[in-house]
């Protein structure tokens, strides 16, 4: 089934896709700055462009396999964001002084992985809304 006009679901998928492009750039810059010292840092760096590409294709070609792929990638992104939150929160705690406010200010950004989760959640809401 191809799209008929620009329904809210299509606009939502486009928004989520473009947002993953932007957040992917930011995540790449942050993780590059830390020299990818943990292998898990590669996951959002590699997945965000994939989410952008699949979402962009889905925006313009509403076919079954792309829809299914986007759906499962959004679940994967939701889980990845939660794992990232764990690592970031743990990373703040292992700094000198533990979970002091200054470590939340200068340590790994704990909200950024939750934004990854939120975007994936929005993608899932759009998929379930249909």
Query: Is a pLDDT exceeding 90 seen at residue 130?
Result: no
For residue 51, tell me if it sits in a domain.
yes
13-23 pLDDT per residue, tens: 999 999 999 99
Judge whether 76 and 55 are in contact, CB under 8 Å: no
68-105 pLDDT per residue, tens: 999 999 999 999 999 999 999 999 999 989 999 999 99
For residue 50, tell me if it sits in a domain.
yes
26-74 pLDDT per residue, tens: 999 999 999 999 999 999 999 999 999 999 999 999 999 999 999 999 9
pLDDT score for 110: 96
User: CA-to-CA distance for 71 and 68, rounded, in angstroms?
Assistant: 5
For residue 2, tell me if it sits in a domain.
no
For residue 1, tell me if it sits in a domain.
no
For residue 74, tell me if it sits in a domain.
yes
Judge whether 42 and 36 are in contact, CB under 8 Å: yes
* Structural domain harbouring 93: 8-129
Q: How many domains does the chain have?
A: 1
For residue 38, tell me if it sits in a domain.
yes
For residue 17, tell me if it sits in a domain.
yes
């Amino acid at each position: 089934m191809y799209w008929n006009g620009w329904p809210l679901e299509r606009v939502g998928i486009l928004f989520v896709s473009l947002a993953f492009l932007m957040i992917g750039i930011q995540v790449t810059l942050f993780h590059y700055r830390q020299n990818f010292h943990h292998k898990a840092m590669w996951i959002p760096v590699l997945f965000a462009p994939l989410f952008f590409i699949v979402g962009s294709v889905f925006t313009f070609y509403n076919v079954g396999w792309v829809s299914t792929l986007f759906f499962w990638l959004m679940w994967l992104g939701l889980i990845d964001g939660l794992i990232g939150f764990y690592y970031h929160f743990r990373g703040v705690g292992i700094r000198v002084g533990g979970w002091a406010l200054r470590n939340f200010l200068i340590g790994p950004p704990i909200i950024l992985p939750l934004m990854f989760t939120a975007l994936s959640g929005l993608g899932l809401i759009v998929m379930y809304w249909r």
